[in-house]
C-alpha cells in the first residue's frame, strides 16, 4: 500500500509521495495517480526521498518531470514537519539551498490536506502502466 498526502495551497493541489514506502511511481503511474477521475487527483506530484540524503522531484499532473519550485520545497518540508519530523524538514530546505524554514510556520492554517491510502491493486496497475511505457521506449 502506498500512502500519499495531498495539500492545497494557493489553489494548487500538491500530492506528496515519500519513497520510504518503497514504491516510486514512474511517469504513467504518476499520471494515473494524479488523475481526478481515476486516481487520487493533484496538480503537482512531489516525490520525496527522506531516507538517505533528502531529495525532491516534481511532476506535472501528466507525469512529466518539471523543475522544483519554492512552493514545492515548502510543501514537501511542511509535509514532513506535520509528521513530526522537524529535523527532516530543515534538511529538505537546507539541501535545496533555501533559508525558508521560518515560512513553514506561515503555512499553518493556510493549507488544506488529506491522506489517501492507495491499495496494492492500484499500485500494481500503476506499475503495469509504467512497464508498458518503458517497453515502448526501448
Q: What is the pLDDT of residue 87?
A: 67
Q: What is the pLDDT of residue 81?
A: 76
State the DSSP H helix or E strand holding residue 18, giving kind and residue range, or none if neither.
Answer: strand 12-18
Q: What is the pLDDT of residue 39?
A: 92
Overall pTM surpassing 0.85 (yes/no): no
pLDDT in tens, the chain (138 residues): 788 999 998 899 999 987 776 678 889 999 999 999 999 999 999 998 767 666 789 999 999 999 998 888 888 888 887 777 666 666 666 655 555 656 666 676 778 888 899 888 999 999 999 999 888 765
Q: Report the C-alpha gap between 69 and 79 in whole angstroms.
A: 15
Domain boundaries, the chain: 2-137
Superfamily of domain 2-137: Diaminopimelate Epimerase; Chain A, domain 1 (3.10.310.10)
Q: Report the C-alpha gap between 123 and 9 in whole angstroms.
A: 26
Amino acid at each position: 500500500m502506498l500512502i500519499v498526502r495531498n495539500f492545497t495551497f494557493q489553489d494548487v493541489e500538491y500530492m506528496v509521495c515519500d519513497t520510504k514506502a518503497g514504491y516510486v511511481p514512474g511517469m504513467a503511474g504518476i499520471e494515473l495517480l494524479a488523475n481526478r477521475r481515476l486516481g487520487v487527483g493533484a496538480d503537482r506530484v512531489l516525490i520525496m526521498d527522506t531516507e538517505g540524503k533528502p531529495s525532491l522531484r516534481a511532476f506535472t499532473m501528466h507525469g512529466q518531470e518539471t523543475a522544483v519550485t519554492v512552493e514545492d520545497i515548502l510543501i514537501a518540508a511542511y509535509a514532513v514537519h506535520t509528521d513530526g519530523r522537524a529535523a527532516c524538514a530543515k534538511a529538505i530546505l537546507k539541501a535545496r539551498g533555501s533559508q525558508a524554514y521560518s515560512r513553514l510556520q506561515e503555512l499553518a492554517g493556510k493549507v488544506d490536506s488529506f491522506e489517501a491510502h492507495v491499495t496494492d491493486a492500484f499500485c500494481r496497475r500503476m506499475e503495469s502502466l509504467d512497464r508498458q511505457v518503458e517497453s515502448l521506449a526501448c
